[in-house]
Amino acid sequence: METPRLSEGLAVIKNVSRNVPETPGVYRMVDAKGEVLYVGKAKHLKARISSYVNAAALNARLQRMIAQTASMEIITTRSEAEALLLEANLIKKFMPRYNILLKDDKSFPYIFFSGDHEFARISKHRGAKVRKGKYFGPFVSAGAVDETLTTLQKLFLLRSCPDNVFKNRTRPCMLYQIKRCSAPCVGKIKKEEYNGLVNQAFAFLTGRSSDIHDALVAEMHALSLKMHYEKARVVRDRIRALAQVQQQHKGEAAVGDADIIALARNGKDYCIQLFSFRGGGNYGNRAWFPLQAAAFDDAEILRNFIAWHYQPQPAPPLILTSHLLMDAGVLEEALRLHSDYKIEIVHPLRGEKRSLVEQAAKNAREALMRRLSLQANMRDMMEGVRKLFGLEDVPERIEVYDNSHISGADAVGAMIVVGPEGFLRPGYRKFNIRRKETAPGDDYAMVREVLMRRFMRLQEEDGKLPDLVLIDGGAGQVGAAAKVFEELGVSVAYAGIAKGPDRNAGREMFFIPGKEPFQLPVGDPLLHFLQRLRDEAHRFAIGAHRARRDKSMSRSELDAIPFIGPQRKKSLLHHFGSARAVAAASMDDIAKAEGISTSTAKIIYEHFHGEQ
């Protein structure tokens, strides 16, 4: 039997379906608040949307979705492949509650060879590729980038120092001493030889390590014949390092440039494991845990992941999957829209490729079991928190607060969030202490300012209150929190956790309003859990404080002068050495700095000397 809300949703869909063309495209279901409920793609929009009209044929999940649908938005595309890419982009943008959701907290790293310096520098790179040079990647894990950078330094002795350090060196650094750099900064290698090393590194990263090995062996023999034994020994060490790397990657060259993607399922929980290979080398692996995926079959989850994952970065020529994808051809066509080479999606059944897929699937299963084990432990800890602090229900959101400063300077408040899934880092917040009434070094006033700003904003935005607030501190901090919550009329559970005598871990005191302070037994798992929360808040607060302190240290009196931007500031500091020296200089001397005109020199001089 149809409910009134379901009937209203069906009426909306019927009305839309009358005017939908028989073309590929993407549709969005939107609720009464304008929130996107679901994004879907179709080869024939009219047929797909009309399929929602028969309520009896829909499962409970789809009926709930339709009951909440107040409007629909249609976008037509030229092909099903374009529709698939648009669908993935819109899912990323809107994060609809009825789609499979995959969380991605950062861009993937690359290895970068700078192209704007005569001696190329190697470094890790994230973000837009705006600087001139060559980029290799993407790597799916930062650890794989670090390992590859270390390998490149061992094999090819390439510099990793910033350009300003390179420019000012007068003698080789420690990396030269341990044979990780050829010291071009002090002329230990000619430009032509260094460029040869760079080209060898390019060859290595594109899978031609055998060619490099042969060239190094020939070079070592030539040096030995000329009795340049010291140089021959350096080349020999490079050959050994290369042989070790080749042994580690033995068998991986069978796939060349490829990604292996495997899915593991345990009830309603899933894990997708991706292994990335480029040039015969392992570029790392990473696990994703899809949300809201229980209503989809395994192949559809993998298809959604592939379309989602290869939006910000190019797909490799070969993608191996643990499940057969029925619409692999459409997906291949969609991925080719952003590349100039053929892309294949293959479900291997035998051979070396099948072994690699099985290895990825094994890693997916193990990662999922570890996650489920941690979640089970987290549920136990949350139940312990409920009992300890007298909460009615198991907490879904705990906020932990801490402050950090040095003698009151550059004070920062920090908030971390934890839930049944663990630490919820997107919810972390930092608060620069800035109110005049907050005296420097007054911890109680800092707690008051942070909580006042946080909960006033929650009230303004009609946000959901946390189930528990933990404050790093004792009776004084808890008292400051009590005044804030009373003043704002906020009803929330809160407590303080103070370090023990001599700041000993394990002897923490807990302060709950209306109760005597108490301790938990040393070794209690719940105590260790609460210590972890407190330590995470402390870590985040210290990091925020250091960032603010570093920023304030980089400021100078020059920042307050009109028309003095970063380039002129850099020129003045380079010419005079400090802002104090600029202040003591004459107008004529200031005008001698590069990029400083006579009129600008006058502005600078008058800023420091006024009408004198």
Across 7-12, average pLDDT = 87
Q: Please give the residue that has the higher pLDDT: either 392 or 202.
A: 392
Across 72-84, average pLDDT = 87
Across 263-291, average pLDDT = 85
Peptide bond just before 138 cis, omega within 30 deg: yes
The residue count for the chain: 612
> Is residue 560 classed as helix, strand or coil in its secondary structure?
helix
Tell me, what amino acid is at 408?
Answer: G
Mean pLDDT of the chain: 84
Cα separation, 501 vs 508, whole angstroms: 8
Across 320-324, average pLDDT = 93
Tens of pLDDT along 491-500?
999 999 988 6
Number of other CB atoms surrounding residue 577 within 10 Å:
10
Cα separation, 190 vs 184, whole angstroms: 7
pLDDT score of 546:
81
Q: Write out the two tokens for 102.
A: 């995959």
Cα separation, 9 vs 7, whole angstroms: 5
pLDDT score of 612:
45
Phi, then psi, of 281 in degrees rounded to 5? -115, 150
CATH 3.30.420.340 fits 256-369, yes or no: yes
Residue by residue, what is the 3-state secondary structure of 293-340?
Answer: CCCCCHHHHHHHHHHHHCCCCCCCCEEEECCCCCCHHHHHHHHHCCCC
Tens of pLDDT along 179-196?
889 899 988 889 998 998
> Is residue 73 classed as helix, strand or coil in its secondary structure?
strand
pLDDT score of 203:
78
CATH topology of domain 4-94: GIY-YIG endonuclease (3.40.1440)
| Cα–Cα nearest to 283, from 255, 309, 303 | 255
Cα separation, 138 vs 284, whole angstroms: 10
Tell me, what amino acid is at 562?
Answer: P
Q: Are 482 and 450 in contact (CB under 8 A)?
A: no
**Choice among 146-150, 386-390, 608-612 with the minimum mean pLDDT:** 608-612
Residue 407 DSSP code = T
Kindly write down the DSSP assignment for every residue of 510-524, as one continuous string: EE-TTS--B-PPTT-
Q: What is the pTM of this model?
A: 0.65
pLDDT score of 263:
94
**The pLDDT of residue 244 is above 70:** no
Across 404-411, average pLDDT = 73
Residue 463 DSSP code = P
pLDDT score of 79:
86
Angle in degrees, 0-180, between the axes of helices 80-94 and 328-336, rounded to the nearest 10 = 80
Q: Please give the residue that has the higher pLDDT: either 536 or 200.
A: 536
pLDDT score of 455:
92
Across 256-268, average pLDDT = 88
CATH 1.10.357.10 fits 557-609, yes or no: no
Whether 398-552 and 256-369 are alike in CATH topology: the answer is: yes
pLDDT score of 388:
92
What is the share, in percent, of the chain residues with pLDDT greater than 70? 91
Q: Write out the two tokens for 363.
A: 């890693």
Across 3-14, average pLDDT = 84
| Cα–Cα nearest to 481, from 502, 461, 521, 451 | 451
Most confident residue range from 175-179, 193-197, 395-399, 406-410: 395-399
pLDDT score of 250:
52
Cα separation, 239 vs 235, whole angstroms: 6
pLDDT score of 481:
92
What are the domain boundaries of the chain?
Answer: 4-94, 110-252, 256-369, 398-552, 557-609
| Cα–Cα nearest to 76, from 110, 39, 27 | 27
CATH 3.30.420.340 fits 398-552, yes or no: yes
Across 222-232, average pLDDT = 76
**Coarse DSSP helix, strand, coil percentages of the chain, rounded to the nearest 5 percent:** 50, 20, 35
Kindly write down the DSSP assignment for every residue of 13-59, as one continuous string: HHHHHTT--SS-EEEEEE-TTS-EEEEEEESSHHHHHHTTS-GGGS-
Cα separation, 436 vs 248, whole angstroms: 60
Range 544-566 burial, b when 16+ CB lie within 10 A, else e:
bbeebbeeeeeebebeebeebee
